[in-house]
Amino acid sequence: MIVDIICPLYNAEKYIENLHKSFEMQQDVQIGNIRYVITKGNDNTEEKVKKLKCIYRIIEPKDFSHSLVREKEAFESNADIVVFVTQDIIIERKDWLKKLIEPIEKNEAEACYSRQICANNSMEKYTREKNYPDKSSIVSKEDIPKLGLRAFFFSDASSAIKRDIFVELNGYDFTDMPISEDMYIAYKLITGGYKIKYCAESEVIHSHDFTLKEQYKRYYETGKFFKQNAYLNRYKVNSTGGKLAFYILKRAVEEKNWKVIMKWLPNMGARFLGMKLGKLSKDK
C-alpha cells in the first residue's frame, strides 16, 4: 500500500531536517508523498522545507486548525494510507512506519497509532507509561462496555488511517477543533464498526514538560471539547482521569521522583479546574 505522511509545521526550524531524514530512512514501505503544512511563523521553516523532496503549502496563523489542516491533506491525498505525525516526535527506528501500517495492510485494523516514549523525567514520563504500554492491543466496538472512554484513545502524534475509511467517515466533519481531533475520529471509527490497533513496536520519542498554565489551558480546551461533544460524557470520563492521576503518583513515589511528587497536587488541580471550567465555558 502507498503511504502519504502528513505533518503540520509551525516554527519547526529545529525539527524539520532530522524529522524528514527519519521519514526517508524508513524501510520496506512505499511512501507516496510527504506533505507539510507550514503555518507562517518567525523562523526559517519554509526555507528549509523548500530544499526537501516533499509537497508543502503555507497558511496564515488564523487559518490553522488541528482538524481542518489534517483533513484537507488527507482528502487531497491519493494514497491508500494517510499517516499523521507532529513535528516534535523523534523517530529512531527504521521500521517505525512499517510496524505502524502493517496491521492495516494485513486487515487487522483500519487505524493504528504508535507507542510514545518520554525522554525526560517529568510527569509526562508516567503519563506515557500508562497510556502507551509495551504490549500491542486491538480495540473494537465490543470493547466499549469494558474500556469506556479508553476505547476511543488515539493519538495523531503518530498514527495511520486507511484513507478510504477516513473519507467514508467524512474525516472530522469539517469541524475546527483546537484539541482532541484524534479522539473524535477514533469515536467514529470504533462506533462505526472498525478497529484500532495500538502498535507498541512502532516507537517514537515524544516529550513534554508542561507548566501549570499550559496544563490548565490544555485541559480547558479539552473540557470545551467534551462540552461540544457531550455524547462522550457517558463513557466514564472522570474515572479514566482519576486512574491516570493515581498511577502517576504511585510511580513517582516508587522512583522517589521528588520533582514530580511536589508538582503532582497543583498539576492535578490545574487539570481538574481546566476541565471543569472548559465544560462550563460559553465559548463556541
Domain at 36, CATH number: 3.90.550.10
pTM: 0.94
Helix (H, G, I), strand (E, B) or coil at 184: helix
Tell me, yes or no, whether 87 and 140 share the same domain.
Answer: yes
Q: How confident is residue 233, by pLDDT bands cut at 50, 70 and 90?
A: confident
C-alpha distance from residue 130 to each of 44, 103, 109, 155, 232 (Å): 36, 22, 22, 14, 21
Residue 99 has pLDDT above 70, yes or no: yes
**122-145 residue pLDDT tens:** 999 999 999 999 999 999 999 999
> Is 207:118 a contact under the CB 8 Å cutoff?
yes
Tell me, yes or no, whether 129 and 6 share the same domain.
Answer: yes
**112-126 residue pLDDT tens:** 999 999 999 999 999
Domain that holds residue 245: 212-280
Tell me, yes or no, whether 176 and 274 share the same domain.
Answer: no
What phi and psi, each to the nearest 5 degrees, are found at residue 254?
-60, -40
Q: How confident is residue 239, by pLDDT bands cut at 50, 70 and 90?
A: low
Last residue of a domain, one of 205, 239, 268: 205
Q: Is 91 exposed, middle or buried (0-12, 13-18, 19+ CB in 10 A)?
A: buried
Say what the pLDDT of residue 13 is. 96
Provide the sign of the torsion angle of the four alpha carbons 177, 183, 186, 192, taken in this order: negative
Tell me, yes or no, whether 166 and 228 share the same domain.
Answer: no
The Cα 13–Cα 11 span in angstroms is 6
Whole-number percent of the chain with pLDDT over 90:
93
Last residue of a domain, one of 175, 205, 235: 205
**164-184 residue pLDDT tens:** 999 999 999 999 999 999 999
Tell me, yes or no, whether 178 and 222 share the same domain.
Answer: no
CB contact set of 207 (below 8 Å; sequence gap of 6+): 88, 118, 119, 120, 122, 124
Query: How many other CB atoms are there within 10 angstroms of residue 84's CB atom?
Result: 25
Tell me, yes or no, whether 174 and 227 share the same domain.
Answer: no
- Cα torsion for 175, 35, 158, 118, to the nearest 10°? -110
**7-38 residue pLDDT tens:** 999 999 999 999 999 999 999 999 999 999 99
The Cα 54–Cα 90 span in angstroms is 19
Tell me, yes or no, whether 178 and 138 share the same domain.
Answer: yes
Say what the pLDDT of residue 238 is. 57
Q: How confident is residue 284, by pLDDT bands cut at 50, 70 and 90?
A: low
The three grid cell numbers given for residue 65, joined into one nine-digit string: 486548525
Say what the pLDDT of residue 243 is. 87
Average pLDDT of span 252-280: 95
**Average pLDDT score, the chain:** 95
Q: How confident is residue 241, by pLDDT bands cut at 50, 70 and 90?
A: confident
Domain count, the chain: 2
Tell me, yes or no, whether 150 and 256 share the same domain.
Answer: no
Last residue of a domain, one of 205, 238, 271: 205
Residue 84 has pLDDT above 80, yes or no: yes
**Which residue type is seen at 123?**
M
Tell me, yes or no, whether 90 and 141 share the same domain.
Answer: yes
**34-83 residue pLDDT tens:** 999 999 999 999 999 999 989 999 999 999 999 999 999 999 999 999 99
